[in-house]
Amino acid sequence: MKIALIGYGKMGKTIEKIAQDRGHEVVARIDPFNGEDFSSAGFPTADVVIEFTRPEAAYDNYMACFKHNLPVVSGTTGWLDKLPEIKKMCENGQTFFYASNFSIGVNLFFQLNKQLARLMNAHNDYEVSMVEVHHTQKLDAPSGTAITLAEGLIENLDRKSKWELDKQSTPDAIAIEAQREGEVPGIHTIKYESEVDEITIHHSAKSRQGFALGAVIAAEFAAKNKGFLTMSDLLKL
């Protein structure tokens, strides 16, 4: 399979190595610091594009790919106000695979979070909150992963209707504390606390490897399937 990379920083380089180890060819590495742009001869020959860049650049990157009818796998967060437009384009023939986090472990954690929320729904004496920690280069807060976790809570806890950043939990809102430290790949903790005890679930990424491997597996899936795709489609969750 031929892959074009948009974004050739630490994550892009990790994705490249994993893709090559799995027998794929990287035909374009589009990045302003790499000197390669969308005029690259290799770009339109790709079977699929993997995009990890910045929130303000993401949407324009997708449009450049769609001009060539290239399937896109994106792990960029912070641009989701335009997600309905992307889904509409997928109804008209484009292919887009989006995940707030491509780690297989994190996506299993998403399901665990929903299941625990269902169990806790009847127990109003427990207050729920979240802490997420990422590296200092992480631009958006809360992280896309934290937002996905919060959406899973809201979906399954009748008493919660929204999340709020860096505030105390209120009867209808989930507090998310966002911390930025060093080179932390990603830590997410959900806590339910009552007057007598607390229940905590926690996921900590050890490196970028899990995210990168998941992105390559998603690219393999997107190259063979059409429409708007997610990790739930890939993992059959």
Same domain, 152 and 93: no
One-letter identity of residue 106 = V
Nearest by Cα to 60 from 15, 2, 102, 7: 7
Strands of 48-51's sheet, edge to edge? 25-30, 2-6, 48-51, 72-74, 95-98, 227-229
Q: What is the pTM of this model?
A: 0.78
What is the torsion angle, in degrees rounded to the nearest 10, for the CA atoms of residue 218, residue 78, residue 184 and residue 170? -120
For residue 4, the SS3 value is: strand
> What's the confidence (pLDDT) of residue 237?
63
> Which are the contacts of 233, defined by CB distance < 8 A and separation ≥ 6?
221, 225
Helix, strand, coil share (%) of the chain residues, nearest 5? 35, 25, 35
Same domain, 193 and 229: no
- Does residue 111 contact residue 153 with C-beta atoms inside 8 Å? no
Nearest by Cα to 205 from 94, 75, 93: 75
Q: How many Cβ atoms sit within 10 Å of the Cβ of residue 150?
A: 25
CATH of the domain at 52: 3.40.50.720
Residues assigned a catalytic role: 134, 138
Structural domain boundaries enclosing 218:
2-102+209-235
Based on the structure, what is the number of domains in the chain?
Answer: 2
What the block records as the tokens of 96 is 């887009």
d(CA 215, CA 73): 7
Same domain, 44 and 89: yes
Same domain, 200 and 111: yes
Same domain, 95 and 15: yes
> What's the confidence (pLDDT) of residue 56?
92
Same domain, 123 and 190: yes
Same domain, 10 and 98: yes
What the block records as the tokens of 139 is 């631009």
Same domain, 136 and 84: no
d(CA 70, CA 206): 32
d(CA 179, CA 70): 36
CATH of the domain at 149: 3.30.360.10
Per-run averaged pLDDT (10 residues), the chain, 237 residues: 95 95 97 89 97 93 97 90 96 95 91 97 97 86 91 97 90 94 91 98 91 95 96 86
Q: How far is CA 76 from CA 19, 73, 237, in A?
A: 19, 9, 22
> What's the confidence (pLDDT) of residue 48?
98
Same domain, 48 and 127: no
d(CA 166, CA 176): 6
Same domain, 59 and 96: yes
Same domain, 195 and 143: yes
Same domain, 51 and 67: yes
